[in-house]
């Protein structure tokens, strides 16, 4: 490989250089340089592309700084330490990931030191560093400019490109109606775009299927083109959202295909336009909320929730939106605490549990949270911190936990060492009370704080469960005492005169979450939402692909009913309940509920089969 570092060397000298280097390959998505690592050399990319980024807690939170291509170096962020012998190498806060298959030549700094002894080579190396520094600054400038524009732009003048669904369901015109319905359900979409030779020919919505097929009794073996709408209304990504809203209201439609240069690039739904307006407003309020404004935030958040429910937004999307907003509220409350009592003397992490931990919170619930911090000597500060955050959240609409599972309780805050001892005590002395604490604890989810502390804490939890067979056995036996209703004879066993209702929360949601939690812990999956844990169990081949998909769909159906029921009760000023009235169900609804209950029962039975 030709390169200015060794172009001036003889073939024999080049061979000696290459012997001291290491040829390495990385697959798409593989980490080349993890964060917090001291780097002792450079990677010269021979093939492929990598990205340098500031890692967030999840991949969606990463901030990409630059793309590094073939012929360029990785690891230049620590080149300054190499050039300055008096500066010690320190761990880099940046991370590097392959975005396709990458091939590199790893050059140790000890070798590089010899290669750049010639002034001309050293100058070229410095030019390389300067050019990359310029690229990074340009990238940062563009990101800041873009973010400012997005933050300052009112949603009503956002473009369709900002809010559209970029992955619409697209099918050819000869696909049967039956196949189209299957694809619609599998992809959780509300409309199908019909395309022929890259040209948009029509659209079929959920309502079209109901009115043009089900109501008329027509055959589902006909092509989808026979029921599609031909006289299409479309919009471009460059139109503004208010223009889309005007078209939709004027023509009584809820979907607009988005077309650019004659090709389909997305679809926009009425809910995208309406939701974004409210979400922008609430986001603005949350990002600048002051202590005295906290009591008003509940009303604004519930207005968004009401709109999402009215627009029949899929429950998974609704929960993503609402929990994202609630997380912002929590983060702002934590910032206010630090403003009042001073910045934390040591790094910490704030976790939530329960429905918030599972990302299933839609109405504000009781507070369930805890604190983990690094240094034992900072107990006094975090005791005050815990008291303050509880009061702030209470003013924002969160009730105090009746079981006192809050950071204000010394049992729900502590240093890493304290938590290690506490978890060990729970595992070794698994009383019924501690089992109840553990059930809530293992729904924990990171809200904000130091990522290194979070990683260390998760490791402590993993290590604490290495020899926890008795503890897991006790948890499983506790679940055995709360079985999901058995469906031996469908209508008579559960939908009979003796049983008039089912408690969705106690008899379905709790058994599902606890069974999934225990099964996950058995397989060393100690962190994640229910959706993430289900996927992890499938990837570990603990559950089959079909069971994974069926169980996920059933839980979405149960949650969908539960969310709508509770929101409707709240909106009507009624007492919030958790019951499913069996007599009010149609025969088809009963069959669907029987399937959902059977799948949750299967999960519980499968978990219990380990013991």
* DSSP per position, 520-569: HHHTT--SS-HHHHHHHHHHTTSS-HHHHHHHHHHHHHHHHHHHHHHHHH
pLDDT band at 54 (very low <50, low <70, confident <90, very high): confident
Q: Where are the alpha helices (DSSP H) in 408-509?
A: 416-428, 432-441, 451-464, 469-480, 490-494
Distances (CA, A) of 183 to 241, 311, 505, 542: 28, 22, 31, 27
Residue 480 has pLDDT above 60, yes or no: yes
Average pLDDT of the residues in 494-514: 79
Q: Give CA–CA dist 430/436, Å, rounded.
A: 10
Which of 89-93, 302-306, 437-441 shows the lowest per-residue confidence on average (mean pLDDT)? 89-93
Structure tokens at 207: 């309502």
Residue 56 has pLDDT above 80, yes or no: no
Residue 57 has pLDDT above 60, yes or no: no
Q: Which one of 62-76, 121-135, 346-360, 481-495 scores highest in mean pLDDT?
A: 346-360
The continuous run of DSSP H or E covering 178 comes out as: helix 177-186
* pLDDT at residue number 147: 53
The continuous run of DSSP H or E covering 325 comes out as: helix 315-341
Contact by Cβ (8 Å): 319, 559: yes
* pLDDT at residue number 395: 95
Which of 48-62, 204-218, 392-406 shows the lowest per-residue confidence on average (mean pLDDT)? 48-62
pLDDT band at 307 (very low <50, low <70, confident <90, very high): confident
Between 343 and 583, the higher pLDDT residue: 343
* pLDDT at residue number 84: 61
Span 136-174, pLDDT tens digits: 666 666 556 555 544 444 444 478 888 899 889 999 999
Angle between helices 530-539 and 545-571 (to 10 degrees): 170
Average pLDDT of the residues in 227-248: 84
Strands of 41-47's sheet, edge to edge? 22-26, 102-108, 41-47, 73-74
pTM above 0.75, yes or no: no
Residue 347 has pLDDT above 80, yes or no: yes
Which of 18-32, 241-255, 591-605 shows the lowest per-residue confidence on average (mean pLDDT)? 241-255
* pLDDT at residue number 154: 42
Span 242-266, pLDDT tens digits: 678 768 766 778 899 999 988 999 9
Distances (CA, A) of 6 to 11, 117, 118, 124, 315: 9, 12, 11, 12, 59
Contact by Cβ (8 Å): 194, 201: yes
* pLDDT at residue number 29: 80
Share of the chain above pLDDT 70, in %: 87
Residue 327 has pLDDT above 80, yes or no: yes
pLDDT band at 529 (very low <50, low <70, confident <90, very high): very high
Residue 240 has pLDDT above 60, yes or no: yes
* pLDDT at residue number 144: 60
pLDDT band at 563 (very low <50, low <70, confident <90, very high): very high
* pLDDT at residue number 587: 67
- Domains (ranges, CATH) in the chain? 11-152 (2.60.120.10), 160-272 (3.10.580.10), 289-419 (3.30.460.10), 479-608 (1.20.120)
Average pLDDT of the residues in 453-459: 96
* pLDDT at residue number 447: 95
Average pLDDT of the residues in 50-77: 74
Which of 22-26, 97-101, 377-381 shows the lowest per-residue confidence on average (mean pLDDT)? 97-101
* pLDDT at residue number 589: 79
Residues 6 or more apart whose Cβ sits within 8 Å of residue 342: 381
Which of 32-46, 353-367, 421-435, 502-516 shows the lowest per-residue confidence on average (mean pLDDT)? 32-46
What is the SS3 string spanning 228-240? CECCCCCECCCCE
Average pLDDT of the residues in 276-287: 72
């Amino acid at each position: 490989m030709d390169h200015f570092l060794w172009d001036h060397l003889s073939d024999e000298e080049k061979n000696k250089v290459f012997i001291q280097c290491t040829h390495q390959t990385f697959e798409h998505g593989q980490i080349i340089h993890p964060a917090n690592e001291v780097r002792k050399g450079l990677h010269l990319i021979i093939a492929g592309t990598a990205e340098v980024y500031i890692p967030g807690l999840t991949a969606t939170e990463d901030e990409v700084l630059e793309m590094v291509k073939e012929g360029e170096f990785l690891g230049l962020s620590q080149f300054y330490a190499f050039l300055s012998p008096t500066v010690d190498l320190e761990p880099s806060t940046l991370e590097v990931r392959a975005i396709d298959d990458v091939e590199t030549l790893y050059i140790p700094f000890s070798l590089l030191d010899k290669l750049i002894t010639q002034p001309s080579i050293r100058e070229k190396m410095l030019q390389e560093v300067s050019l990359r520094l310029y690229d990074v600054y340009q990238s940062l400038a563009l990101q800041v400019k873009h973010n400012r524009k997005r933050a300052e732009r009112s949603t009503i003048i956002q473009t369709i490109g900002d809010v559209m669904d970029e992955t619409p369901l697209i099918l050819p015109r000869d696909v049967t109606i039956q196949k189209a319905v299957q694809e619609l359900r599998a992809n959780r979409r509300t409309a199908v775009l019909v395309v022929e030779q890259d040209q948009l020919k029509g659209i079929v919505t959920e309502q079209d299927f109901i009115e043009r097929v089900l109501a008329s009794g027509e055959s589902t073996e006909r092509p989808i083109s026979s029921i599609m709408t031909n006289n299409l209304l479309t919009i471009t990504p460059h139109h503004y959202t208010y223009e889309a809203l005007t078209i939709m209201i004027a023509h009584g439609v809820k979907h607009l295909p988005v077309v650019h240069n004659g090709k389909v690039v997305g679809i926009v739904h009425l809910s995208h336009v309406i939701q974004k307006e409210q979400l922008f407003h609430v986001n603005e309020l949350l990002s600048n909320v002051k202590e005295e404004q906290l009591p008003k935030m509940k009303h604004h958040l519930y207005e968004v929730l009401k709109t999402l429910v009215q627009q029949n937004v899929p429950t998974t999307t609704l929960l993503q939106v609402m929990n994202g907003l609630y997380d912002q509220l929590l983060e702002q409350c934590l910032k206010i605490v630090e403003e009042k009592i001073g910045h934390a003397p040591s790094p910490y992490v704030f976790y939530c549990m329960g429905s918030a931990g599972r990302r299933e919170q839609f109405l504000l619930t009781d507070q369930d949270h805890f604190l983990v911090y690094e240094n034992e000597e900072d107990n006094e500060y975090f005791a005050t911190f815990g008291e303050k955050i509880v009061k702030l959240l209470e003013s924002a609409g969160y009730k105090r936990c009746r079981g006192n599972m809050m950071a204000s309780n010394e049992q729900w805050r502590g240093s890493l060492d304290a938590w290690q001892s506490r978890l060990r005590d729970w595992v070794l002395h698994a009383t019924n009370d501690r089992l109840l604490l553990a059930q809530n604890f293992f729904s924990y989810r990171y809200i904000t704080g130091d990522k290194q502390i979070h990683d260390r804490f998760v490791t402590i939890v993993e290590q604490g469960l290495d020899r926890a067979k008795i503890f897991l056995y006790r948890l499983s036996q506790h679940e055995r005492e709360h079985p999901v209703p058995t469906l031996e004879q469908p209508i008579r066993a559960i939908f009979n005169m003796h049983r008039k209702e089912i408690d969705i929360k106690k008899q379905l949601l709790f058994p599902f979450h606890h069974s999934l939690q225990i099964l996950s812990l058995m397989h060393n999956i100690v962190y994640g939402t229910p959706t993430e844990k289900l996927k992890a169990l499938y990837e570990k081949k603990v559950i089959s692909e079909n069971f994974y998909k069926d169980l996920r769909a059933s839980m979405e159906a149960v949650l969908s009913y539960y969310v709508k029921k509770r929101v409707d009760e709240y909106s009507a000023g009624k007492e919030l309940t958790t019951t499913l009235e069996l007599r009010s169900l149609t025969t088809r609804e009963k069959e669907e509920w029987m399937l959902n209950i059977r799948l949750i029962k299967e999960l519980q039975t499968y978990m219990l089969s380990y013991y």
